[in-house]
Amino acid sequence: AESASLNVLSPYKVYKLDDGPPESVEVTRDDGLKFYRQMQTVRRMETAAGNLYKEKIIRGFCHLYSGQEAICVGMEAGLRPTDAIITAYRAHGWTYMRGVSVLGVLAELTGRQSGCAKGKGGSMHMYTDNFYGGNGIVGAQVPLGAGIGFAMKYQGTDNLCVALYGDGAANQGQMFEAYNMAKLWDIPCIFVCENNGFGMGTPVERASASTEYYTRGDYIPGIWVDGMDVLGVREATRWAAEYCRAGKGPLLMECATYRYHGHSMSDPGTSYRTRDEIQEVRQKRDPITGFRERLLTNNLATPEELKKIDVEVRKEVDEAVAKAKTDAELSAPNLYYNIYKQIPEDYKRISRWGGTHESIIIV
């Protein structure tokens, strides 16, 4: 079929809203195949990142997005490219969805110059047009996102900003400061909580006195969405975006999801939950497997078509991995670039041994 009408996987919950997004959604074959490809790409890319980390080619922190793909894919589909997005350190999938190539992500992870931040940012700090990171400080991206939304309104556009944060971040005080000003000033911002059940090793119940994240904006209306359902996420996003564009102020959205890997690669991720729990989510709620089934059942795709996508995705990622491993790092003098955009007259680059002579700087 060229398109199908489907129900969202779980009913929305709404807070301080008279109505909510439609629960029956239309999906075209093209979109279906696109979403499938995007989710598979993110999944494969993260698997590749995990392997590169184990090979010690990626260093430091590396927070994988696997299990949460339906959110970045569904939201991007519900937004305009001119809308902005900002998220935390679990940023690879979002970076890709905003237009950075798999290589741009993986090479950033390996610290090479083809990385979208030329290797200066690493896992947590990726950027592209209308994508403002990648932030390593839990919660900090949320006021920043409200500020980006503020700018869009100030500039007279009807664009908006999506500011994403985790269930752990949801308790940070600056969230509530941002909510308050966003509401007072009707900032076009969708605050999105990706609730994956844990902030590092801490399950939501031990971190949050209320785990109904979509209600925690108090005076800001909220929607709860099944974050494993790419169509539900897209539909809710469209609806929320329209709400914001209409000048009604900010909105909260909670996307219920799950993280398959440990918090970062150094966390085995099995001390605070059972392997069975992870296995069960993989089997029953996986956003990709589930969507694949729906595409097939509704005759939007054939197994062969999907297989073909899988092969293409694998190829793309494998090629990116190869390049990300062999690509060069930035040369030494780059250490001192990008500190200022506007370099003061006679500005001295101060190296690690007091000298400011070029000869010393570059060794």
Partner 1 sequence: MVRDALNMAMDEEMARDDRVYLLGEEVAQYDGAYKVSRGLWKKYGDRRVIDTPITEMGFAGIAVGSAMAGLRPICEFMTFNFSMQAIDHVINSAAKTLYMSAGRVNVPIVFRGPNGAASGVAAQHSQCYAAWYGHCPGLKVLSPFSSEDAKGLLKAAIRDDDPVVFLENELVYGTPFEMSDEALSDEFVIPIGKAKVEREGKHVTLVSHSKSVELCLEAARELEGQGVECEVINLRSIRPMDEETIIKSVMKTHHLITVEGGWPQFGVGAEVCAKVFESAAFNYLDAPIVRVTGADVPMPYAKSLEQRALPQGFNIIESVKRTLNLSPAAAAYRS
Ligand X SMILES: Cc1ncc(C[n+]2csc(CCOP(=O)(O)OP(=O)(O)O)c2C)c(N)n1
Binding site for ligand X (CB under 6 A): 90, 136-138, 166-169, 196, 198-200, 259, 263
Q: Is 208 one of the binding residues for its own copies (CB under 8 A)?
A: yes
Laid out side by side, the sheet with 251-256 consists of 13-15, 222-226, 251-256, 189-195, 161-166, 84-86
- Nearest residue (CB) to ligand X, 74 versus 199: 199
User: How far apart are the C-alpha atoms of 152 and 232, rounded to whole Å?
Assistant: 26
Q: Is 250 one of the binding residues for partner 1 (CB under 8 A)?
A: no
- Nearest residue (CB) to ligand X, 92 versus 153: 92
Task: In angstroms, give the least distance from the CB of 227 to its own copies.
Answer: 22
Chain positions 105 to 124 lying near partner 1, rule: CB under 8 A, are 108, 111-112, 117-124
Q: 209 contacts which partner out of ligand X, its own copies, Mg ion, none, CB within 5 to 8 A by kind?
A: its own copies
Amino acid at 192: V
Confirm if 289 and 68 have CB atoms less than 8 A apart.
Answer: no
User: How far apart are the C-alpha atoms of 15 and 17, rounded to whole Å?
Assistant: 5
User: How far apart are the C-alpha atoms of 190 and 156, rounded to whole Å?
Assistant: 18
Alpha-carbon distances of 113 from 130, 133, 334, rounded to whole Å: 21, 18, 11
Q: Is 101 one of the binding residues for its own copies (CB under 8 A)?
A: no
Q: How far separated are the first and last CA of the chain, in Å rounded?
A: 63
Candidate list 111, 166, 262, 287; residue touching Mg ion; CB under 5 A: 166
Q: Helix H segments across 127-246?
A: 141-154, 173-184, 204-207, 230-245
CB atoms < 10 A from the CB of 235, how many? 26
- Nearest residue (CB) to partner 1, 19 versus 354: 354
Q: Is 180 one of the binding residues for its own copies (CB under 8 A)?
A: yes
User: How far apart are the C-alpha atoms of 244 and 218, rounded to whole Å?
Assistant: 17
User: How far apart are the C-alpha atoms of 133 and 124, rounded to whole Å?
Assistant: 8
Q: Is 127 one of the binding residues for partner 1 (CB under 8 A)?
A: yes
Lookup: tokens for 274: 């059972």
Task: In angstroms, give the least distance from the CB of 259 to Mg ion.
Answer: 7
Q: Is 171 one of the binding residues for Mg ion (CB under 5 A)?
A: no
- Nearest residue (CB) to its own copies, 58 versus 187: 187
Q: 296 contacts which partner out of Mg ion, partner 1, its own copies, none, CB within 5 to 8 A by kind?
A: none
Lookup: tokens for 82: 């001119």
Candidate list 123, 171, 196, 264; residue touching Mg ion; CB under 5 A: 196
Alpha-carbon distances of 305 from 5, 8, 32, 348, 363, rounded to whole Å: 20, 24, 12, 58, 53
User: How far apart are the C-alpha atoms of 124 and 240, rounded to whole Å?
Assistant: 27
Q: Is 248 one of the binding residues for its own copies (CB under 8 A)?
A: no
Chain positions 131 to 190 lying near partner 1, rule: CB under 8 A, are 132-140, 142-152, 154-155, 161, 168-169, 171-174, 176-178, 180-181, 184-185
Q: 263 contacts which partner out of its own copies, Mg ion, ligand X, none, CB within 5 to 8 A by kind?
A: ligand X
Confirm if 226 and 220 have CB atoms less than 8 A apart.
Answer: no
Q: 196 contacts which partner out of Mg ion, its own copies, partner 1, none, CB within 5 to 8 A by kind?
A: Mg ion
Q: Is 141 one of the binding residues for its own copies (CB under 8 A)?
A: no
Q: Is 174 one of the binding residues for its own copies (CB under 8 A)?
A: yes
- Nearest residue (CB) to its own copies, 209 versus 363: 209
Residue from 80, 94, 71, 91 nearest 188 by CA: 80
Q: 67 contacts which partner out of its own copies, Mg ion, partner 1, none, CB within 5 to 8 A by kind?
A: none
Q: Is 138 one of the binding residues for its own copies (CB under 8 A)?
A: no
The residues of the shown chain that bind its own copies, judged by CB under 8 A, are 171-177, 179-180, 183-184, 206-210, 215-216, 218-220
